[in-house]
Structure 1
Amino acid sequence: MSLRQDLLKTFHKRRQKGVFIKILLWVGILGIVSAMATLLFYVPPLRVSKVNIFGLDKNDEKQLRAEILEIIAGKKWLIVPRDHVFFLSQKDIEEFLAGKYRFSDFAVERKFSSAIDVSITERKTWAIWCPSDLEAKLPRGSLASCLLLDKEGLAFEKSVISSGSAVLKILDAREEDFLRKNILPPEHFGKISQMIENIPKIIESDIVKVYIKKGGETYYLYPKKGFYLIIDAQTDIEKAIENFSLALRSGEIKKKSDTLEYIDLRFQDKVFYKFK
């Protein structure tokens, strides 16, 4: 073998050895990076494993916790766990909670290191809304088109047909779906709620039912017994309450109160009424 061939052979051996060393080096680097990634991304103390929920009963709490854990499950960018404390999307959780119309308010707070706190304020049921013809069509207790309303008139959840007078009932002649909507403009609904708050102070009887006429601007308010009241979207409520109080003290109404059918308070300077 010539000197030239010997040198070439030695060069090729060294070159192959160098390539092998580089491969081993890169494999080692990748191994270290993988180990660091596993430590950083998958170590239990850095992953959310506990969701503390405040403001709900046990059954609702359990369901909401499962839904939130499902939101933060899986991987981001094919490698990063969504429940990692450094990559957890609080916005995703907040957007999910915002879609829960039963909640009037909520707060999401991250706790170091593997927990998040979710505080919930539920809407309080102020009334049950139903289409006016529903009770005649469906058996009592059916889950149908009745809706729970909060004190602002937002229909936030479906409900069964109510019976009795424990909860204010609002019957509506309009054929519309109000779920997750206000049943009336706030200024109109406010007139109804003002009457419901103030009339019992005068007659010592709660308003138990409200009837909304088909146009959506005329409202009949029914106390537990006796006559009913009529107002509309343009009624000056303060003046109406004043007129109502005066009308009850008038001679004719006072004498025949047992046979009174309704008092119409829609007009600012006059009170109309009818006997049965």
Structure 2
Amino acid sequence: MKDIKSTYKKNGSTNVSPEPTSKKSGKRAPRRNIPGRLFLIVLFIFGLYVGFGYLVSIEPLRVETISLSGNNVIVAADITPVVKGYLKGYRFWPYRNDSIFVLQKKDIKEALFLKFKRIEGISIKKVGLKEVEVVVEEKEGQYLWCGEINSLGSEDTCYIIDANGSLFDVAPQVSGDAYFKIFGGQVDGESPIGSEVFSLEDFNKIIEIKDELDLHKLSPIALLLYDDGLIEFIKKTEDKNLYEGARIKFTLLVDYKEAIDNLLSALNSEPLKSEFAEKEGLLQYIDVRFDNRVYYKFK
């Protein structure tokens, strides 16, 4: 049977209507299981995390030995317990703190700095797979703080001062003038260690004045620090009593550099120049606290 096509004329032309077609039936695309795949990925990553944690925490990779180097006063017996305290437990499960690969260097350094004020610098090195070496640099102190002024000559305990003017350790019992001693000032708290007797600015002024005095036959062995800003350097003497030497008086409230210039000018001018050369051992005091004036007295 022939297909019948409908035709009609319009404006003298013949149009042919399209042949009706049947709608094609299509297949539905399979739905992807996204949540399941994400779960497998997360499970795989977690497995790697746990597996690697157990791997780096096996016994052959655990720290057993702690060594100390660079020390002069601090001993290994004091350092070791602090370090071992950070080797216990887990950093985060299953990563053990005593694993050579999980070592908490930053935390150990902070704990050692906090406990030992004598330490200037620290580095922590891994030696093989089972040893940690703690390398310390200790502060060097040339000056001592020995308490209040009234303890002058009878000081029992002195403390070493670091380059920033802080007290960082008890000084060894040393007689004589091996150390420059400072008396006066106050400290905060029950223990002087870690305290500052004076500001860093004032401390630097004091040391600069001391260094100038050392260069001009006025080497001081001690300093008296008063509350009103007055400071008295005690000149080194051959007398049996170390603190019987002449007093050189300054104040921290005015320009100390100008005071030093005035002192040096007076020492190089008459009449003090000749008197000092002849009667140095009899000098009682030199006072440079006043503008452009130097007062002195001999016994």
Q: State the TM-score bracket (shorter-chain normalisation).
A: 0.7 to 0.9
**Match among 64, 69, 89 for residue 79 of structure 2:** 64
3-state SS of 1:245 partner? helix
Aligned to 1:4: none
> Are the structure 2 counterparts of residues 187 and 242 from structure 1 closer, same or farther at C-alpha, using a change threshold of 3 Å?
same
Deviates more, 1:190-199 or 1:84-93: 84-93
Contact map agreement 2:182 2:223 (CA 8 A) in 1? yes
Contact map agreement 1:149 1:155 (CA 8 A) in 2? yes
Contact map agreement 1:126 1:167 (CA 8 A) in 2? yes
Q: How many residues align?
A: 237
TM-score, normalised via structure 2 length: 0.67
CA distance in 1, matches of 2:232, 2:174: 18
> Are the structure 2 counterparts of residues 77 and 176 from structure 1 closer, same or farther at C-alpha, using a change threshold of 3 Å?
closer
**Match among 111, 134, 155 for residue 151 of structure 2:** 134
Aligned to 1:228: 247
After TM superposition, the structure 1 = structure 2 runs for residues 33-48 of structure 1, keeping only pairs within 5 Å, are: 40=55, 42-48=57-63
How big is each residue's C-alpha offset from its partner over 1:6-57, in whole Å with a ceiling of 9 and x where there is no partner? xxxxxxxxxxxxxxxxxxxxxxxxxxx9xx6896255333112233422114
Aligned to 1:157: 169
CA distance in 1, matches of 2:53, 2:167: 48
Aligned to 2:282: 259
> Are the structure 2 counterparts of residues 92 and 219 from structure 1 closer, same or farther at C-alpha, using a change threshold of 3 Å?
same
Aligned to 2:223: 210
3-state SS of 2:146 partner? strand
Aligned to 2:296: 273
Contact map agreement 2:145 2:183 (CA 8 A) in 1? yes
Letter aligned with residue 166 of structure 1: A
Q: Which has the larger radius of gyration?
A: 2
**Match among 200, 204, 207 for residue 190 of structure 1:** 204
Are residues 1:243 and 2:262 paired? Answer: yes
Gaps of 5+ in 1: 1-32
Letter aligned with residue 90 of structure 1: K
The Cα shift of 1:59 comes to: 6.5
> Are the structure 2 counterparts of residues 220 and 39 from structure 1 closer, same or farther at C-alpha, using a change threshold of 3 Å?
same
Deviates more, 1:156-165 or 1:118-127: 156-165
Aligned to 2:241: none
The Cα shift of 1:58 comes to: 8.3
CA distance in 2, matches of 1:133, 1:102: 27
CA distance in 1, matches of 2:83, 2:65: 10
